Amino acid sequence: MWLLRSSIGRKSVMSITGIALVLFLLFHLSMNVAAVFSADAYNAICTFLGANWYAVAATLGLGALAFLHIAYSMLLTLQNRKARGQNRYAVNKRPKGVSWASQNMFVLGTVVCGFLLLHLWQFWYKMMFAELNGQHEVALGGSMVSTQDGYAFICYYFSQTWVVIAYLLWYVALWLHLTHGFWSAMQSLGWNNHIWFERWKWMGNAVSTLIMLGFALVTLFFYIK
């Protein structure tokens, strides 16, 4: 199959799934910003996403995109290592103009995925999954909380120092991953002429910074609150 055997095919899948995940991050950020201004608005969104089949289907689709993105990144990493052979053990200086992030995308992606599992356990597993399982309340901090009360979950987890520090580190790793991944995705899709290459890099940095700062400010807002 072309998408599996071809390096270009794999990079194309990585690019498309990566762009889709960036769009989801922007949507998720808008949800979190809503929580800053209104607990009722945030809980209304959580209720909507947990009570409709198409929202559940979208969640499964998002999971499939994330799985494809991770699986293809592993395939590309193994392919690159195989192509380098014994040269991968050689100590080389980073080429001029090549960022640290571009040489460590797999490591950064692994860190991002690790914290993503933590996030899914704290929020998705105890909210949407619990609700699908027929639970209306779950234990949280010694008390029972509605599975649709997302605001209570945010307040509880972001009041813990270790959780806040972990999330801030996650945002930095995500920023490093996205700053390279965004323009690299556009390049893989063929939108890489001289003019647009610089524009994609600028837009990638802007979007990545918006996502990182947005999530970080929301996290710190609830921690201070």
List, for residues 82-122, the tens digit of each pLDDT value: 666 555 444 455 555 556 556 666 677 778 888 888 888 88
The span from the CA of 156 to the CA of 141, in Å, is 7
Residues of the chain with pLDDT under 70: 1-7, 9-10, 50-52, 77, 80-106, 188-194
DSSP class of 104: S
The span from the CA of 125 to the CA of 119, in Å, is 9
The span from the CA of 7 to the CA of 12, in Å, is 9
The interaxial angle of helices 105-119 and 53-84, nearest 10 deg, is 150
pLDDT number for residue 5 = 62
**Amino acid sitting at position 113:** C
